[in-house]
Amino acid sequence: MSLGWEQLVEAAPDGIVVADGAGLVVAFNLAASRLTGLAATGALGRPLVEVLPLEDGRGRAWWGCVDPYAGLAIRTGHPEIELSLVTPARPTATALLVTASYLRAGGPRTPVTSVIVALRGTAGRERLERDRAELVATVAHELRSPLTSVKGFTSTLLAKWEFFTDEQRRLMLETVEADADRVTRLITELLDVARIDSGRLELHISLVDLPAVLRRHVERLVAGGEPEERFAVRVEPGLPETWADSDKLEQIFANLLENALRHGDGQVAIVLEPSAVGTAVIVHDEGLGVPPEAAARVFTKFWRGGRRGGTGLGLYIAKGMVELHEGTIALASGPGGGAQFRIDLPPGTPPG
């Protein structure tokens, strides 16, 4: 059964109000009623300007400003604008996002024969704005603590240089350096997050030797002072060829291994095996694992659990990068406790 256009308009997710050439309302759908608090029966046949007495940010009657029927004859509508509506049913102003199109059935420059107004609530946009404001506050907070420490130590050193021993000066400068590194790292992570969120992260695909990438990374950690026994790398036979961005994969592995060392405990098992998708990379440590109630949140921005946390962006970035490769990353609780992260990476395709 196909629906008539009236039923479709009635069921549309946005509020839709249509006025005819005389400015009288001829359609007023369900969403429009919900948004305005006005029943269709109270709107139909009445002048549009009375049914929707919209006001702009300065309290001016909007219809008076845009004047669809007598305004410029070349106008075809109005782009989205936030307006407020006060009706007898809703005495406190309702914020609405309003778009309008003007129909001229006789062709361009002839009189307007219909005005179609689309209404949308502002909850979605407000949520977005709140999220952005929260992000800015979090970032500012994350940047402030290392900078406060840098400023504190440098001021103290400058003011009282001669009162400190070489040893004390060195200790303070080391703290300053570590804090400067933290800021740099945070900014690098934030740039990755911005690229992921805006879809601007690009992949540079080449043939990747996954076991070599992993082994190289483990060697680097061992060279950096981690005992060799902390890692157990196992590569199962039959791995497919993988075309991927090796720098991004390095970054993903680096975060998983660093997490296992920093948040986990015991030995870190790293397994590479063929899977239904292509290749599975499993990183499993013997620590306390992620508490089940937090499992859903580990991949979100800025979420961090323990006291040993970094900024909480590592797994968010890893997920973004894995998904760009059309793979998946998931947290499973491993046998015998501990956190187990699993990446399923498809073989990918050669570039070009």
Ligand X SMILES: Nc1ncnc2c1ncn2[C@@H]1O[C@H](COP(=O)(O)OP(=O)(O)OP(=O)(O)O)[C@@H](O)[C@H]1O
Return residues touching ligand X (CB under 6 A): 189, 255, 259-260, 263-264, 285, 287, 289-290, 298, 303-306, 309-316, 339
Interface with Mg ion includes 287 (CB under 5 A)?
A: no
Write out the DSSP string of 312-331.
S-HHHHHHHHHHHTT-EEEE
Indicate the Cα dihedral angle 336, 341, 343, 344, nearest 10°. Answer: 40
Interface with Mg ion includes 312 (CB under 5 A)?
A: no
Which of ligand X, Mg ion, none lies near 337, with the C-beta cut-off 5 to 8 A by kind? none
Binding mask 105-144 for Mg ion (x = CB under 5 A): ----------------------------------------
CB-based contacts of 262-269 (< 8 A; 24+ apart in sequence):
262/308, 262/310, 263/287, 263/305, 263/306, 263/308, 263/309, 263/339, 264/288, 264/289, 264/338, 264/339, 265/338, 266/338, 267/229, 267/230, 267/231, 267/232, 268/230, 268/231, 268/232, 269/232, 269/234
- Indicate the length of the chain as a whole number: 352
Number of residues that bind Mg ion (CB under 5 A): 3
Nearer to Mg ion, 153 or 316 (CB): 316
> To the nearest whole angstrom, how small is the minimum distance from the Cβ of residue 309 to ligand X?
4
> To the nearest whole angstrom, how small is the minimum distance from the Cβ of residue 285 to ligand X?
5
Candidate residues 36, 259, 275, 279; the one interacting with Mg ion per rule CB under 5 A: 259
Nearer to Mg ion, 63 or 341 (CB): 341
Nearer to ligand X, 80 or 177 (CB): 177
Nearer to ligand X, 111 or 306 (CB): 306
Residue 2, classified by CB atoms within 10 Å of its CB into exposed (0-12), middle (13-18) or buried (19+), is exposed
Q: Which residues bind Mg ion (CB under 5 A)?
A: 255, 259, 314
